[in-house]
């Protein structure tokens, strides 16, 4: 069996380049999501905003709101 070093080197360089580019793209995607996404969805609102969620609602009230308003 004849093994061509040129083909082995070509295949190895392709695999390394593929892995490096995959890591670069996935890291860039994670970085972009950090920049675009909101910091904390459940923090207290600032300024004139009001937080409308009521934690004291019973299960039946929640179901009623879901069916009536789609919330």
Q: What is the Cα–Cα distance from 34 to 43, expressed in whole angstroms?
A: 17
pTM for the whole structure: 0.50
Q: Which two three-digit tokens encode residue 69?
A: 């308003």
Res 36: pLDDT: 82
Q: What does the pLDDT look like over 13-60, one tens digit per residue?
A: 999 999 999 999 999 999 998 888 777 767 777 788 766 766 677 888
Res 46: pLDDT: 76
Res 33: pLDDT: 87
Q: Outline where DSSP puts E strands in the chain.
A: none
Res 43: pLDDT: 74
Res 35: pLDDT: 85
Cβ(54)–Cβ(61) below 8 Å: no
């Amino acid at each position: 069996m004849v093994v061509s070093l040129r083909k082995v080197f070509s295949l190895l360089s392709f695999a390394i380049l593929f892995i490096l580019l995959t890591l670069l793209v996935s890291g860039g995607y994670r970085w972009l999501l950090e920049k675009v996404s909101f910091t904390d969805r459940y923090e207290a609102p600032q300024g004139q905003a009001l937080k409308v969620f009521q934690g004291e609602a019973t299960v039946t009230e929640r179901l009623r709101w879901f069916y009536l308003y789609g919330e």
